[in-house]
Amino acid sequence: MNLLDKFTPLQQARDQLKALGADPFNVVVEKILSPTEAIVNGHRVILAGTNNYLGLTFHPECIEAAVRAIREEGCGTTGSRMANGNYADHQALERDFADFYGKPYSVVFSAGYLANLALLSTLPGADDVILIDADCHASIYDGCKMSAAEVIRFRHNDVADLDKRLRRLKDRARRTLVVVEGIYSMFGDPAPLREIVEVKDEHGAYLMVDEAHSLGVLGDLGRGLAEAEGVDDRVDFIVGTFSKSLGAIGGYCVSPHQALDTLRYAARPYIFTASSSPAQIASTRVALRLLREGRDLRQRLWANAERFYRGLEALGCTLGPQLSPVVPVILGESREASLAVWKELLERGVYVNLVMPPATPDHRCLLRCSMSAAHTPQQIDTLLDVFAQVFAAHGLT
């Protein structure tokens, strides 16, 4: 067996997809038209699988700020935050996040993925423990792999299982970082955060919440699940991304602990990568302001989510556990049948994400749909019409 043989099964799986006439993991957006429309395979599609929750990617103020930053500061920084890449605007955005969350410490990273790698690879050390929800995102698992700490999983959203595992750790519970998400990316369900906070406090553990899918979506001010559940001041580290509600690329963490600021000098995913480009930082600063002022955006997002979710429910689709802007339509175990449904939706002008095991929480494939504040009611009705036709044609309703 040589170096490259291990890729043979993966290449075969890819060839099988090609033979079926579609590759859902290599869709080319030939032209992006708006937050909710694009040209794919030569025809116009409604985008319902983008994480563009507030629809800010084409906001004129964000675009204007990015253009101005490129003209004044250039296309890239060509260096790490630790060297020449620490611009005044990076620090200004960190102050914006600190102010938004009411926390003294804030760090901006070049991607949400890197924020999780930085925190998890650096905060918990060799004698510490990371206790993660089993359904956590790959970036959290990858951060754990980079850490010298012991890594333990608890059952998804199962507070009794978390409590049991903290109890087993005895004194080491005080050296444990519990990691959960605000909204889980596949099923769109939130963590039972109030109960989790109670349990981690009882055992003296620390808590990190990844608000990637809940920033701008939950809470009156849009800060996420910790705000919505009234436990902001009992979470030790809040992590998030610019790449969903803020419509750019980047990551952040806020905390009441000074250790977060010190982490800049130790976290390799912060040190050994170039800092975010001036355009990304500039558009994110504007998007964060729009998010803070955006109660109307959140209302529209939730109204759209409800319209879509209830419509699919009426069609008899098997959906995720609760109403959320992330709407999973659960299919069967057959990859071929699921691919055929996804392909026909796309051909009829609907783009959603096809997710297959092991990326799904169980053995079933699912269509991961996500709503945006930018969807119009007419677009949602069109989506529902197409779902009705395709699901009927495939015997799914």
Q: Which residues bind other proteins (CB under 8 A)?
A: 134, 144, 150-153, 155, 165, 168-169, 357-358, 362-363
For 282-304, letters b (16+ CB in 10 Å) and e give bbbbbbbebbeebeebbebbbeb
Tell me whether residue 244 is one of the annotated catalytic residues: yes
For other proteins, the closer of residues 362 and 385 by Cβ is: 362
**Min CB(129)–other proteins separation in Å:** 8
Parallel, antiparallel, or unpaired: how do β-strands 237-241 and 251-255 relate?
antiparallel
Least distance (Å) from other proteins to the CB of residue 134?
Answer: 7
- Could you tell me the smallest distance in angstroms from the CB atom of residue 236 to other proteins? 21
Catalytic residue among 213, 277, 283, 370: 213
Choice between 150 and 344, CB closer to other proteins: 150
**CB nearer other proteins, residue 167 or residue 310:** 167
Q: Catalytic annotation on 276? A: no
Question: What pairs with residue 80 in β-bridges?
Answer: none
Closest approach, Cβ 115 to other proteins, in A, equals 21
- Give residue 191's identity as a one-letter amino acid code: A
- CA-CA-CA-CA torsion sign (338, 339, 340, 344): positive
Burial of 191 (0-12, 13-18, 19+ CB in 10 A): buried
Shortest reach from residue 205's CB to other proteins, in Å:
14
The angle that helices 278-292 and 88-101 make with each other, rounded to 10 degrees, is: 20
Strands 251-255 and 29-34: unpaired
Q: Which residue out of 147, 185, 277, 324 is catalytically annotated? A: 185
| Cβ atoms of residues 181 and 238 within 8 Å | no
* Of 269, 255, 282, 293, residue with least CA distance to 102: 255
Least separation, in Å, of the C-beta of 122 and other proteins?
17
Q: Which residues contact 327 (CB under 8 A, 6 or more apart)?
A: 188, 305, 308, 309, 312, 319, 320, 368, 369, 370, 371
Q: How far apart are CA 126 and CA 360, in angstroms?
A: 31
Instruction: Kindly state the tokens that stand for 214.
Output: 């809940």
Task: Let me know if 43 is a catalytic residue.
Answer: no
Cβ closest to other proteins, residue 74 vs residue 357: 357
CB closer to other proteins, 70 vs 169: 169
Angle among Cα 17, 19, 22 to the nearest 5 degrees reads 50
Least distance (Å) from other proteins to the CB of residue 222?
A: 34
Nearer to other proteins, 150 or 347 (CB): 150
Q: Look at residues 117, 105, 122, 163 and name the one whose alpha carbon lies nearest to residue 141.
A: 117
User: Measured from the CB atom, is 157 or 273 closer to other proteins?
Assistant: 157
Burial tier of 177 (Cβ tally within 10 Å: 0-12, 13-18, 19+): buried
> Kind of pairing, strands 251-255 and 326-330?
unpaired
Cite the active site residues.
Answer: 185, 213, 244
